[in-house]
Structure 1
Amino acid sequence: MALSKAAIRAIAIRRKNERNASNDNTPVRAKSAYVDTTMTPGMLAACVEAAGLQS
Structure 2
Amino acid sequence: MTEENQPDDFDRSQNEWDAVAETRQWSSAATELNCFALARRKGKRLVKIINT
Q: Which has the higher helix share?
A: 1
In the superposition, the TM-score normalised over structure 2's length comes to 0.29
Q: Which structure carries more relative contact order (alpha carbon 8 Å, separation 6+)? A: 2
In the superposition, the TM-score normalised over structure 1's length comes to 0.28
